[in-house]
Amino acid sequence: MRARSLLVTSWMLSVLLGSVADRTTGQPLPGVRVELGAAHATSRADGSFRLSGLKAGHATLLVSSDDVPPQRFPVTVGAATTHVDLRVCSTTLDYNCGPPQY
């Protein structure tokens, strides 16, 4: 029975849903590339993104675009669907960018 439970868990992959917004204004940021390992997505007009096919566990998200310098965020991906809201430093909207906030 244990072998079957290991087999079932090995093919179950997780989904990470989230949004990207400006740290100062809270305005959604479209066109931001969000990466987690080999998985990547670009945020939509409302700042939302979806990464699927992920393994559960601790990881680091990388976000960047022409207006968003590369920033890293620690995340814990759950066994099914995890949601994360990212507040990023944007060079067009922020004038004083400090450590990331999430």
| Strands 33-36 vs 39-42: parallel, antiparallel or unpaired | antiparallel
What tens digit of pLDDT does each residue of 32-84 get? 999 999 999 999 999 999 999 999 999 999 999 999 999 999 999 998 899 99
* Dihedral sign (CA 49, 38, 52, 78): negative
What mean pLDDT is predicted for residues 3-10?
46
In the numeric block, which tokens belong to residue 34? 């969000």
Give the domain ranges of the chain.
Answer: 2-88
Q: How far apart are CA 98 and CA 83, in angstroms?
A: 24
Instruction: Write down the pTM of the prediction.
Output: 0.80
CATH topology of domain 2-88: Immunoglobulin-like (2.60.40)
